[in-house]
């Protein structure tokens, strides 16, 4: 299995809803990432997990809450989002959790719309 999967593919939620995005990989990768991508923009790093521990939080608002239950799974819990949070949310993984320089495998993303 050489891919990163993300569910759901699309999500529409209201500003008072609580929802979660899920990311899964079975490549044995020990670093996993959440990115936010707006239209016609590059991916913006949100969080990095290295060996299931949060190693980077790029000053993301607390309405986004990441969770890494095990080495294969990464969740992003959403609560009280704003319309400007509508974007494509990408998950990625790399083989090692250190500062080795490895390609990032991106999942297909979840397209989120906040009404």
Partner 1 sequence: GQQVMQIPQYQHVQEGEDFTTYCNSSTTLSNIQWYKQRPGGHPVFLIQLVKSGEVKKQKRLTFQFGEAKKNSSLHITATQTTDVGTYFCAGQTDQAGTALIFGKGTTLSVSS
Q: Which residues bind partner 1 (CB under 8 A)?
A: 31, 40-45, 48, 50, 55-56, 88, 90, 94, 97-109
Rounded to whole angstroms, the Cα distance separating 70 from 56 reads 17
Give, for 74, the enclosing helix (H) or strand (E).
strand 73-79
Cβ closest to partner 1, residue 37 vs residue 65: 37
Cβ closest to partner 1, residue 1 vs residue 101: 101
Q: How far is the CB of 95 from partner 1 (least distance, A)?
A: 10
Rounded to whole angstroms, the Cα distance separating 85 from 105 reads 23
Q: How far is the CB of 26 from partner 1 (least distance, A)?
A: 18
Q: Which residues pair with 31 in a beta bridge?
A: 50, 94
């Amino acid at each position: 299995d050489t891919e990163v999967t993300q569910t759901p593919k699309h999500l529409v939620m209201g500003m008072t809803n609580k929802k979660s995005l899920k990311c899964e990989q079975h490549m044995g990768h020990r670093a996993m990432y959440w990115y936010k991508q707006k239209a016609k923009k590059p991916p913006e790093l949100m969080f990095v997990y290295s060996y299931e521990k949060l190693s980077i939080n790029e000053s993301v608002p607390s309405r986004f809450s990441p969770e890494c239950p095990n080495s294969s799974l990464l969740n992003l819990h959403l609560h009280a989002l704003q319309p400007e949070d509508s974007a494509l949310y990408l998950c990625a993984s790399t083989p090692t959790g250190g500062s080795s320089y490895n390609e990032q495998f991106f999942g297909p993303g979840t397209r989120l719309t906040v009404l």
